[in-house]
């Protein structure tokens, strides 16, 4: 489905989205360069307990790609505008990677719209947020990859632990090429979203969110957002529940889907 949302920063933005399930609204915010199909393994489970709203961020998937650079604040406003369009007042907000950064800004700018906050494999900015040089090189190589096989080669090593990739290579290749990464992101969209990630700074501001129930999850084998960032989020958000996934990579919502799904459902049920 498509809708045109209006924000103060730029009216008339077309966003692609899906709504599935029934129950309390759940807003799912995806990361850099991945479309809404990246939430497939969560929606298939969570739609039993909530109304799952997933969408393509500006600059990716079927949504518009206006000129950049973007900011996480701007993209948070996009998400709130979508909730407004759908008539949703409050939602459980779940964000992964860049989506987690957008979720932080959404909560800081509109805390009354957030029933709970779940941050997966993300960071609050600062020096620790810089990825290793090998990761940066792979992201750059991904943008110049011309074939689906080449894109899979690079992105799979960014998202998953070597063990998981070795055990599930064929399944992951099929899933990526037909779903979340079926169409390559435009260079303009990639650069604009990278600017949002690079410019993201929340840090100690996150302490303002102490009234919002919060869950943090991170894999110890994450090569995109180093696990040190989880420790910083814990310092800034001491009330948050934390789940550390041993040996799991950046794409924890796929690599450890059952654990993520169950942990988040239990978190919601206890509220």
Q: How far apart are CA 180 and CA 187, in angstroms?
A: 17
**Residue range 48-58: mean pLDDT, rounded:** 97
Six token digits for residue 234 = 């814990």
Question: pLDDT tens-digit profile of 214-256?
Answer: 999 999 999 999 999 999 999 999 999 999 999 999 999 999 9
Which residues on adjacent β-strands are paired with residue 110? none
Per CATH, the homologous superfamily of domain 2-269 is Alpha/Beta hydrolase fold, catalytic domain (3.40.50.1820)
Nearest to 203 by CA among 266, 133, 268, 123: 123
> How many other C-beta atoms are found inside a 10 Å radius of the C-beta of residue 101?
32
Where b means 16+ CB within 10 Å and e means fewer, 151-189 reads bbebbbbbbbbeebbeeeeeebeebbeeebbeebbeeeb
pLDDT computed for residue 131 by the predictor:
83
Which pLDDT belongs to residue 201?
A: 97
Report residue 186's pLDDT band, with 50, 70 and 90 as the boundaries: confident
Q: Which two tokens stand for residue 248?
A: 């799991």
For the chain, the residue count is: 271
């Amino acid at each position: 489905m498509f809708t045109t949302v209006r924000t103060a920063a730029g009216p008339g933005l077309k966003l692609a989205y899906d709504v599935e399930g029934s129950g309390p609204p759940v807003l799912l915010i995806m990361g850099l360069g991945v479309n809404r199909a990246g939430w497939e393994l969560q929606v298939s489970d969570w739609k039993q307990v909530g109304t799952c709203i997933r969408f393509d961020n500006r600059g990716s998937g079927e949504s518009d790609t206006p000129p950049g650079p973007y900011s996480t604040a701007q993209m948070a406003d996009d998400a709130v505008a979508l909730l407004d369009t759908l008539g949703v007042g409050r939602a459980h907000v779940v964000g992964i990677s860049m989506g987690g950064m957008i979720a932080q800004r959404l909560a800081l700018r509109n805390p009354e719209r957030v029933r709970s906050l779940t941050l997966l494999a993300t960071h609050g900015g600062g020096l620790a947020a810089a990825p290793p040089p090998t990761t940066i090189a792979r992201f750059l190589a991904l943008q110049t990859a011309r074939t689906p096989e080449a894109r899979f080669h690079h992105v799979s090593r960014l998202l998953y632990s070597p063990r998981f990739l070795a055990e599930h290579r064929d399944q992951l290749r099929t899933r990526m090429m037909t779903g979340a990464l079926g169409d390559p992101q435009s260079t303009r969209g990639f650069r604009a979203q990278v600017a949002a990630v690079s410019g993201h700074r929340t840090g100690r501001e996150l302490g303002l969110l102490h009234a919002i129930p919060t869950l943090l999850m991170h894999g110890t084998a994450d090569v995109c957002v180093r696990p040190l960032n989880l420790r910083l989020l814990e310092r800034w958000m001491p009330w948050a529940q934390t789940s550390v996934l041993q040996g799991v990579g950046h794409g924890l919502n796929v690599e450890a889907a059952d654990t993520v799904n169950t942990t988040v459902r239990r978190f919601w049920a206890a509220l």
